[in-house]
Amino acid sequence: MKDYITHCEWKVIEKEFNPDYNRISESLFSIGNGHAGQRANFEEKYSGDSLQGNYIAGVYYPDKTLVGWWKNGYPEYFAKILNAANWIGIHINIEGEDVDLATADIHEFRRELDMRTALLKRTFVASLPSGKKIEVEAKRFLSVKDQEIGAIQYRLKSINFTGQVEVTSFIDGDIVNEDSNYDEKFWDEIFKEKRGNEVYLGMETRKTMFHVFNGQYTRLSVNGKEKDIESKSVGSEKFIGSVFQLKLKEGEELLVEKYAAITNSLYYSKEDLGKRVSLAVKRAAEKGFDQLFVEHAAVWTQKWETSDIQIEGDVAAQQGIRFNIFHLMQTYTGDDERLNVGPKGFTGEKYGGVTYWDTEAYCLPFFLATAPQKVARNLLIYRHKHLQKAIENAQKLGFKGGAALYPMVTINGEECHNEWEITFEEVHRNSAIAYAIYNYINYTGDKEYLAPYGIEVLLAISRFWSQRVNWSEDKQAYVILGVTGPNEYENNVNNNFHTNNMAVWTLKYTLESIEYVKKEYPYLFEEMIQKWRFNEIMETNRWKDIIEKMYLPYDEKRQVYLQQDGFLDKELISASFLNQDESPINQNWSWDRILRSCYIKQADTLQSFYWMQEDYDNEIIERHFDFYEPLTVHESSLSPCIHAILAAKIGRQDKAYEMYLRTARLDLDDYNNDTEDGLHITSMGGTWMSFVEAFGGMRVIDGKLHLNPFLPDSWKSYSFRINFKGAHLEIKMKDALEIINHSDIKIPIYVWGERYELTKNQSLKLNKQIV
């Protein structure tokens, strides 16, 4: 754990430069706009350790799988969102010396990210080796209003010298991915051009043949007066820039303005890209930094109006929740159903920037409650578009008859995860996708999604479970063998409770959905029978038999469901007895030792209890929480949120608060010693869940909104906002609870078990429940 980020309600602030933490800060201060993301790299040269990173949504490379032992059905590649051309470069040379914080003497340094407006600002005062002293202020943003544009203002003031300054403003496409399996470069240059103070670079990805065009316009001013300087061209393979030379006097301030544009072949024909990027550059330059920023900031104001969470009395918690909300909103905007939410978003290379089951389990609830309904719907449409690929994935593993296994990792619907115990075994992901359909419909009331989208996905997933089980003569029950549950510290186990339990739930929900579609959309149901060759009687009878006779491992003595067969053969020692220097165990223990241990990476059995809360009373949930949580090391970023919600459910308010702080500040405080690889974007959805569902006690039961809020002892108050079935609600918790309906829609709501009705624009005040 690290504690160098200043606590501040609306900003992320670093007050001094520590080279050892630079990669962490590059992750923390990343900016994005849903279509592109940029790590907080320096504009000027930096010869120290850094992970240069600019990522374009949807643009990927199929990096050939690197394995020691090939197995049938193994993915041929791991898809990676590529590190794309560096567009922020502004190198400064003063009389032969580069401005480089790795070699300079730094007197003052401050880096801050304003989360209200997604503006990254950095200031420093430094002396070059020659003694020349400079003061620098750099500001930049990626426009969320005009998602093809980024803008930079870079100010440099001479403190104690008069001398010749050379400014090189460039685009560098000679980029590598540090995680390349075979140290390959993934880009080829196809176009390069300089027009006055504009430069353009066109690149093409190898194999996938995406085209990405970058353009920039650079303008210089001294003491507020624009300088008419003829720039020279500098270029090499995959690199182009403009070089400006001028004399800067002591006390003068140089301003470099850089307007950049990025276009790609996902949105335009390849023949049209050159024209489009040129238009975007001109559009940005004509508006200028200030107007572009005003338009950009206005969109962010709208985003915060429907998603902000306010905490009074705990600045660390306040900063943490806003940090998580901010990065979720700048990673995914929901305007393109081909895009999704990668575990690291656009903040690093780890996990390839592609889609996991994290989206359905942890991100969907946030977008359901804070964004227009189409945003969440597009996350579901993304999976429906990949249905045929999911069927092909199942076929590769020997499944037939339209069974679908959704990939553990994908960008285009094909499985591309390169670890066998995940690729072949972590099949519980299928049920997460089914649950997301239920979650969406339960929350929005949009049952029309079932016909035809949802029902087709549910049918294919249920066909998978029907084939994945087998009958055990010994147990006289159906079993599921050779799996990995959410706890990836166990591999190739039999009868993982969560996997078996959610398979049963999926079959039940599919049967219910079929009955609904048959009744409400009989013509679509007939079309489905023909399209998917659905033998209703035969297939549904088998599903019902599986539901009735599925084996769920259970210990009568402890009265708990067991994580898997044989779990009690392990030596059950609480994680509290682990030595501090052994944590995290995934960085200090051998894999053999981890697999033999009882330690749990993240909620596994408890994941089922979280999703199925209404099926169990608090006594049962508490019994399972007390058995499994002490064995959990929370070394997955997805772990604390589920435990926070369940702790609140059973009245463990202090534990809920402890788990909330861990998830909210996971990256800000680098809990797991891995923030340098990028932020844990998908777990940030879990942070939002842990606040709204733990402290707010929010749950949607049979389509009705329920609240069971409490106020942590260290807070004076909190408030959050949600959209629910067309209404926009503000929930405030202080000495009393206040719910404000900021809409014209009448809505029923259950608070502490009592039913109330909120009419349009009504405020409801209730006394705080004594817990």
Q: DSSP string of 68-116?
A: SS--TT--SEEEEEEE--B---EEEEETTEE--TTTSEEEEEEEEEETT
647 pLDDT exceeds 60? yes
Positive or negative, the CA dihedral 424, 426, 432, 434 is positive
Stretch 647-667: mean pLDDT: 95
Stretch 615-626: mean pLDDT: 98
Percent residues over pLDDT 90 in the chain: 92
Pairing between β-strand 747-751 and β-strand 704-707 as defined by DSSP bridges: parallel
| Tokens of residue 31, six digits | 């900016």
350: nearest Cα among 632, 682, 41, 688: 682
d(CA 513, CA 455): 7
pLDDT digits (tens, 9 = 90+) for 333-375: 999 999 999 999 999 998 877 899 999 999 999 999 999 999 9
pLDDT digits (tens, 9 = 90+) for 457-511: 999 999 999 999 999 999 999 999 999 999 999 999 999 999 999 999 999 999 9
Strand, helix or coil at 241?
strand
Band of residue 770 on the pLDDT scale cut at 50, 70, 90: very low
d(CA 425, CA 422): 5
Edge-first strand order for the sheet with 763-767 is 309-312, 717-724, 727-733, 736-741, 763-767
| Radius of gyration for the chain, computed over Cα atoms and rounded to the nearest angstrom | 27
Supply the pLDDT for residue 254.
98
Supply the pLDDT for residue 350.
85
Strand, helix or coil at 124?
strand
- Exposed e or buried b for every residue in 500-534, given b needs 16+ CB within 10 A? bbbbbbbbebbeebbebbbeebeebbeebeeebeb
- SS3 of the chain: helix, strand, coil, percent, to 5: 35, 25, 35
d(CA 279, CA 148): 10
Q: Is 26 in the active site?
A: no
Strand, helix or coil at 492?
coil
318 pLDDT exceeds 60? yes
pLDDT digits (tens, 9 = 90+) for 104-118: 999 999 999 999 999
Stretch 406-418: mean pLDDT: 92
pLDDT digits (tens, 9 = 90+) for 23-77: 999 999 999 999 999 999 999 999 999 999 999 999 999 998 877 666 777 788 8
Q: Is 590 exposed, middle or buried (0-12, 13-18, 19+ CB in 10 A)?
A: exposed
Band of residue 144 on the pLDDT scale cut at 50, 70, 90: very high
249: nearest Cα among 368, 146, 160: 160
419 pLDDT exceeds 60? yes
- Report the run of H or E that residue 553 belongs to, with start and end: none
Supply the pLDDT for residue 768.
67
pLDDT digits (tens, 9 = 90+) for 730-769: 999 999 999 999 999 999 999 999 999 999 899 999 986 5
Tell me what the pLDDT averaged over the chain comes to.
96
771 pLDDT exceeds 50? no
Helices (H) and strands (E) in the chain, counts: 20, 33
- Exposed e or buried b for every residue in 546-564, given b needs 16+ CB within 10 A? bbebbbebeeeeeebbbbb
Q: With a threshold of 0.85, does the pTM exceed it?
A: yes
Cis geometry, peptide bond prior to residue 452 (ω within 30 degrees of 0):
yes
Cis geometry, peptide bond prior to residue 584 (ω within 30 degrees of 0):
yes
- Say how far residue 616 (Cα) sits from the centre of its chain: 30
403-408-413 Cα angle (round to 5): 65
Stretch 626-647: mean pLDDT: 96
DSSP code per residue over 626-637:
HHHGGGB---ST
Stretch 178-186: mean pLDDT: 90
| Tokens of residue 286, six digits | 């004509």
Whether 94 and 134 have beta carbons less than 8 Å apart is answered as yes
Stretch 555-580: mean pLDDT: 97
Task: Catalytic residue, from 204, 488, 539, 629: name it.
Answer: 488
**What type of residue sits at position 768?**
K
d(CA 698, CA 134): 53
Supply the pLDDT for residue 68.
66
Supply the pLDDT for residue 429.
97
- Say how far residue 483 (Cα) sits from the centre of its chain: 26
Whether 13 and 68 have beta carbons less than 8 Å apart is answered as no
Percent residues over pLDDT 70 in the chain: 99
pLDDT digits (tens, 9 = 90+) for 658-706: 999 889 999 999 988 899 999 999 999 999 999 999 999 999 999 999 9
Whether 214 and 87 have beta carbons less than 8 Å apart is answered as yes
